């Protein structure tokens, strides 16, 4: 067998392994069942990809995340390694061909979701494959106590029956001791080799600040630390709002959320990866599979919904092992908002039943029918039709997705279908009097050959780019062409796609998962409380608090978090020095408190206290525009 380090050098261009990677790889190569807990940035994928490349045969990788599967497959293919993923939207005939390729085509990796294991065709072909390893990514999903528990993960043990002599590696970036024990039990490990990298990140300063004006604090942080940064926000609107605000403040910024089309996602990501933009403002749709080592700052302006998700997102800072910052900005409204957003909208079993019935009615699925049927889904229209609360309904639909009743694809999809319904010569006669439409028409004709013969789905972003017009302009031209009866046009905007996995059985379907719904609601309440405990505990080192959550007890204070810094005794600054410095600053003109915080080298607390005394002593006054002005006698 080729030595693992040679594989690492050839395909990954590294000359040494990260901590624990080589030990994990050797355990896998020795045929041991292996558990690997490597926090974010620890290089989990290498731990199963290298053993699979060393050994003859194919590695089956189970993952719940379609985006991550696609990223890893693309990365492997770019290295010249044959890999494929069985994602949603693939026909039975395509799956048949792909699985044959896995048996006879010398493929090294087959990525699939746990739901795929339920298909008889997939099971039959896996039996025929020369499987060298089974890798379970995001293994915490198999535990009912894990973040993002998915009952379908319990199907993974079927692989052990289909390939009883093949060893298994389970990998996760976040798991409490209780979850680790559960993973090992559920995957039927016997005498497993267990590798746990500490959650301690000595270079990350975990900060929690009470801040009424969060935008001002963000600006101050980013001006002080001008390297690559991520700002996590709760919704799509805020990604645009904050990014625009930062641009106005001359801090280069872009944004990222699940509603962007693929072209924009790639552009915004590359602008940030290549440091054309200092900041990327993103929802939690951002980050999986993205390894940018030089991120200096990760800022959360909303409280996260769990310590697990926070630790993963915060851990995207400082992967180059230089000092980095993970900051949470909170104020008095955040606790109530967190509970409202994540606890008050938890769907009850009865509500999930109602949503499931209404979904079936919405798509006109008869009782006993609907298995494997797929629909474009306009979420807002659905909620409006049945007068449902959007947040509770979305959580109910996510519950149906996690429990494999449906599959929800949240990729925003704008489908534009075009067919030219007049002759080629008639089109050019039309363009004689509509010359400004010519570039769009010619671009479509040259990009899509069959657009005269049948309805053709076009990529509106691609056509707009080729024609050098805005997408809104393209749509306006298409609508006019349709109005003039040059083309038949169907523009359908949807929030998502839904696939019904099993036949409609209404209450019977939901009763089967009722205990899971109740247990997951209780877990979410526990997770939210853990977040509140973390942000409100200003007595214990923030790093130690995180370590305790994940079962580690042995560390000393980090010395760099917000708690440690505030507890350090600082020499008291002479009041007269602060006062004289402020007077000198104000001699150049009236200044706001925010400007003084920036230009005077004292703490905000010291400045505010001194300003108060100076007002009382009649040294300064507050103007009508809320600035401070020297009161000259």
Are the C-beta atoms of residues 131 and 58 closer than 8 Å to each other? yes
Cα-to-chain-centroid distance, residue 505: 33
**51 has a pLDDT exceeding 80:** yes
Q: From CA 300, how far away is CA 303, in angstroms rounded?
A: 7
Half-sphere exposure at residue 179, Cβ-oriented, CA atoms within 13 angstroms = 27
User: Which residues neighbour 557 within 8 Å (Cβ) at sequence distance 6 or greater?
Assistant: 541, 543, 544, 564
How sure is the predictor about 289, in pLDDT bands with cuts at 50, 70 and 90? low
Residue ranges with strand state E in 442-560: 456-458, 487-494, 496-500
**47 has a pLDDT exceeding 90:** yes
Q: From CA 161, how far away is CA 154, in angstroms rounded?
A: 13
Q: Is 111 helix (H, G, I), strand (E, B) or coil?
A: strand
Of 63-67, 316-320, 325-329, the poorest mean pLDDT is in 63-67
Q: From CA 463, how far away is CA 522, in angstroms rounded?
A: 49
Read off the tokens for 627: 């600035």
CATH number of 340-412+496-525: 1.10.10.10
Cα–Cα distance list, 320 to 123, 173, 278, 316, 378 (Å): 42, 18, 17, 10, 42
Q: pLDDT (tens digit, 9 = 90+) per residue, 524-543?
A: 999 999 999 999 999 999 99
Burial 249-275 (b: 16+ CB within 10 A, else e): eebbbbbbbbebbeeebeebbeebeee
Q: From CA 174, how far away is CA 37, in angstroms rounded?
A: 7
Q: Bridge-partner residues for 494, per DSSP?
A: 413
Q: From CA 410, how far away is CA 147, in angstroms rounded?
A: 20
User: Which residues neighbour 34 within 8 Å (Cβ) at sequence distance 6 or greater?
Assistant: 24, 27, 28, 167, 168, 169, 170, 192, 193, 194, 195
CATH number of 204-331+537-564: 3.40.50.300
Read off the tokens for 319: 């992967």
> Which pLDDT value is given to residue 316?
93
- For the beta carbon of residue 296, count every other beta carbon within 10 angstroms: 21
Are the C-beta atoms of residues 499 and 88 closer than 8 Å to each other? yes
**Which among 276, 289, 293, 296 has a CA at the least distance from the CA of 228?**
296
Are the C-beta atoms of residues 43 and 50 closer than 8 Å to each other? no
CATH fold match for the domains 340-412+496-525 and 575-630: yes
For the residues 431-444, what does the mean pLDDT come to?
92
> Which pLDDT value is given to residue 393?
96
Phi/psi at 281 (nearest 5 deg)?
Answer: -100, 125
Of the chain, the percentage scoring pLDDT greater than 90 comes to 65
Domain 575-630 in this protein, CATH class: mainly alpha
Read off the tokens for 39: 């926090």
Q: pLDDT (tens digit, 9 = 90+) per residue, 474-516?
A: 889 999 999 999 999 988 766 678 989 899 999 999 999 999 9
Are the C-beta atoms of residues 44 and 38 closer than 8 Å to each other? yes
Model confidence, pTM: 0.74
Q: Is 206 helix (H, G, I), strand (E, B) or coil?
A: strand
Q: From CA 267, how far away is CA 269, in angstroms rounded?
A: 5
**Average pLDDT across the chain, whole number:** 91
Q: From CA 171, how far away is CA 40, in angstroms rounded?
A: 11
How sure is the predictor about 387, in pLDDT bands with cuts at 50, 70 and 90? very high
CATH number of 4-196: 3.40.50.300
**Which among 563, 565, 564, 566 has a CA at the least distance from the CA of 537?**
563
The DSSP secondary-structure symbol of 435 reads: G
Q: From CA 506, how far away is CA 32, in angstroms rounded?
A: 44
- In 30-176, where does DSSP find H-type helix? 44-54, 66-78, 92-104, 120-128, 157-162
For the residues 575-593, what does the mean pLDDT come to?
89
**How many residues would you count in the chain?**
633
- For the beta carbon of residue 476, count every other beta carbon within 10 angstroms: 14
**633 has a pLDDT exceeding 60:** no
**Neighbour order of strands in the sheet with 487-494:** 456-458, 413-420, 487-494
Q: pLDDT (tens digit, 9 = 90+) per residue, 200-246?
A: 999 999 999 999 899 999 999 999 999 999 999 998 889 999 999 99
- For the beta carbon of residue 455, count every other beta carbon within 10 angstroms: 12
Per-domain residue ranges for the chain?
4-196, 204-331+537-564, 340-412+496-525, 413-494, 575-630
**Which among 173, 169, 168 has a CA at the least distance from the CA of 147?**
173
């Amino acid at each position: 067998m080729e030595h693992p380090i040679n594989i690492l050098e050839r395909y990954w261009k590294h000359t040494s392994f990260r901590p624990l990677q080589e030990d994990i790889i050797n355990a896998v190569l020795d045929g041991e069942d292996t558990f690997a807990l490597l926090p974010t940035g620890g290089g989990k994928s290498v731990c199963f990809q290298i053993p699979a490349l060393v050994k003859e045969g194919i590695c089956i990788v189970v993952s719940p995340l379609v985006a991550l599967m696609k990223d890893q497959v693309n990365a492997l293919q770019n290295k010249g390694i044959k890999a494929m993923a069985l994602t949603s939207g693939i026909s039975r005939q395509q799956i048949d061909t792909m699985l044959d390729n896995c048996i006879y085509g010398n493929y090294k990796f087959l990525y699939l979701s746990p739901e795929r294991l339920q298909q008889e065709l997939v099971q039959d072909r896996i039996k025929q494959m020369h499987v060298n390893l089974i890798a379970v990514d995001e293994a915490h999903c198999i535990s009912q106590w894990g973040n993002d528990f998915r009952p379908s993960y319990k199907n993974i043990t079927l692989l052990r029956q289909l390939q009883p002599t093949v060893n298994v590696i389970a990998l996760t970036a976040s798991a409490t001791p209780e979850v680790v024990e559960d993973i090992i039990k559920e995957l039927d490990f016997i005498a497993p080799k267990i590798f746990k990298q500490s959650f301690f990140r000595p270079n990350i300063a975990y900060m929690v600040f009470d801040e009424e004006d969060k935008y001002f604090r963000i600006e101050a942080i980013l001006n002080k630390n001008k390297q690559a940064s991520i700002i996590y926000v709760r919704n799509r609107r805020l990604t645009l709002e904050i990014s625009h605000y930062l641009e106005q403040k001359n801090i280069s910024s872009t944004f990222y959320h699940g509603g962007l089309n693929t072209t924009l996602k790639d552009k915004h990501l590359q602008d940030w990866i290549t440091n054309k933009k200092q900041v990327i403002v993103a929802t939690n749709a951002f980050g999986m599979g993205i390894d940018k080592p030089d991120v200096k700052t990760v800022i959360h302006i909303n409280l996260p919904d769990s310590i697990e998700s926070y630790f993963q997102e915060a851990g995207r800072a400082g992967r180059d092992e230089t000092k980095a910052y993970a900051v949470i900005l909170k104020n008095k409204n955040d606790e109530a908002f967190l509970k409202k957003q994540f606890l008050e909208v938890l769907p009850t079993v009865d509500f999930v039943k109602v949503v499931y019935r209404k979904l079936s009615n919405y798509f006109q699925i008869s009782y006993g029918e609907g298995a494997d049927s797929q629909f474009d889904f306009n979420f807002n229209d659905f909620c409006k039709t049945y007068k449902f609360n959007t947040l509770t309904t979305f959580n109910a639909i996510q519950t149906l997705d996690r429990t494999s009743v449906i599959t929800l694809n949240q990729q925003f999809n704008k489908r534009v279908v075009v067919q030219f319904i007049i002759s080629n010569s008639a089109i050019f006669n039309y363009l004689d009097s509509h010359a400004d439409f010519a570039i769009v028409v010619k671009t479509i004709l040259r990009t899509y050959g069959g657009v005269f013969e049948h309805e053709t789905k076009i990529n509106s972003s691609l056509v707009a780019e080729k024609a050098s017009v805005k997408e809104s302009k393209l749509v306006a031209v298409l609508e006019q062409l349709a109005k003039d009866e040059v083309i038949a046009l169907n523009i359908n905007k949807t929030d998502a796609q839904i696939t019904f996995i099993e036949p409609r059985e209404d209450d019977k379907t939901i009763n089967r998962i009722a205990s899971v719904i109740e247990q997951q609601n209780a877990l979410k309440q526990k997770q939210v409380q853990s977040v509140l405990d973390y942000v409100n505990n200003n007595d214990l080192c923030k790093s130690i608090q995180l370590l305790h959550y994940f079962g580690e007890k042995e560390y000393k204070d980090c010395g760099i978090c917000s708690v440690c810094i505030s507890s350090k005794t600082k020499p008291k600054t002479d009041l007269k020095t602060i006062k004289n410095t402020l007077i000198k600053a104000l001699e150049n003109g009236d200044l706001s408190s925010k400007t003084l915080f920036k230009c005077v080298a004292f703490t905000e607390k010291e400045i505010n206290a001194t300003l108060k005394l100076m007002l009382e002593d009649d040294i300064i006054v507050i103007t009508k525009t809320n600035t401070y002005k020297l009161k000259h006698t």
